[in-house]
Amino acid sequence: MSLRQALDAVRLLDRAGGGEGCRVAIIDTGAAEDASLRGHVNLTNKSITDTEGHGEYVHRIIHRVLPEAEIYLVKVPNPVPDHLFITAIHEAMKWRPHAVNISMGSEMATDGGDPVSIYTDRLASVSVVVCAAGNGGPRPLSVGSPACSRETLAVGAVNMKLRPWSSSSRGPTLDGRFKPDIVAPTGYYLDDLGVRLVGTSFSTPLATSAAALAASILPRPMIVRRLLQLTAQPIPVTLLNLSFIRGQTVSRTSLHRLLRALAFSPDPRNIVGMGLLNAGDTIAEASRLASGG
């Protein structure tokens, strides 16, 4: 699957329109050298350019989907300590972006009351905050901070066949809320670079791009977040399409593993949330609401 095919799968291919007027902020390990930035803050002692092969790809994805958007970036170390994460959130808020991409975080379950999640919820009052759910699956209770915060959009992953990706983190949160909120494709290629991008980190920029487009039309971040959930395309979750089960022989170990997973997260919303990102319907609904329809 190419990036173009991934965009087509989430109905974003013909909806982006260049992204003129959109403002997007990224909190990550750095920027790509060949993609534009409107502004940046560097919270490390290194160059703003990414050297870890993470932030640069997040930046490239958003730039390719929204080449005319204003993109801002806060560079943080990896792993990022809580105090720097909170500082990065404050810096991102100053730009008042339509959407913020956070493809970083922990895989330790919380109830959304940890400091980073609390400050992320504050950011969500001015921007749609889109967080990677994490790659801790199929273990339940593996969506950590800040994806487990109450007002952010946590993005899980589906594979190239649009089935649940086995390593996508699963809910619920410690206080029993369903997570992730939606899912988007992973495992696609950036064609000219020949790089295959795997993980919820790279599902998230697709949702961030859709969120920025919708929020530029309807500048109500809480409503846009809800639209992204309500317009998502349902994905059937059965024992046959859970890739961590399919293909295994029936053994005592695999049976115990299955029963443990089902005991904690039998609800499909703890695997794929409300379903697959549907950018086309989200943007259409945002336009309808903005026009008073």
Task: Determine which of 2-16, 61-75, 141-155 has the lowest per-residue pLDDT on average.
Answer: 2-16
- Residue 161: Cβ-neighbour burial (10 angstroms; 0-12, 13-18, 19+): exposed
What pLDDT does 239 receive?
Answer: 53
- Asked if the model's pLDDT at residue 266 lies above 80, the reply is no
What pLDDT does 248 receive?
Answer: 47
- Please give the average per-residue pLDDT across 168-178, as a whole number: 95
Alpha-carbon distances, residue 290 vs 75, 97, 207, 225, 293 (angstroms): 34, 18, 20, 15, 7
> For the whole model, what pTM was predicted?
0.91
Of the pLDDT bands very low, low, confident and very high (cuts 50, 70, 90), residue 17 is: confident
What pLDDT does 21 receive?
Answer: 96
Q: Residue 267 has which token pair?
A: 């609800």
Structure confidence by residue, pLDDT tens digits, 206-223: 999 999 999 999 999 999
Rounded-to-integer distance, Cα 273 and Cα 254, Å: 24
Of the pLDDT bands very low, low, confident and very high (cuts 50, 70, 90), residue 236 is: confident
- Asked if the model's pLDDT at residue 139 lies above 70, the reply is yes
What pLDDT does 108 receive?
Answer: 87
Residues 6+ apart with CB under 8 A from 15: 210, 213, 279, 280, 283
What pLDDT does 240 receive?
Answer: 43
Domains of the chain, each with CATH number or no CATH: 3-235+269-285 (3.40.50.200)
- Asked if the model's pLDDT at residue 244 lies above 80, the reply is no
- Asked if the model's pLDDT at residue 172 lies above 70, the reply is yes
H-type alpha helices, the chain: 3-9, 55-65, 82-94, 115-123, 200-217, 221-230, 252-264, 279-290
- Please give the average per-residue pLDDT across 235-264, as a whole number: 58
For residue 85, the SS3 value is: helix
Provide the mean pLDDT of the chain: 92
- Asked if the model's pLDDT at residue 100 lies above 60, the reply is yes
- Please give the average per-residue pLDDT across 144-165, as a whole number: 97
Of the pLDDT bands very low, low, confident and very high (cuts 50, 70, 90), residue 262 is: low
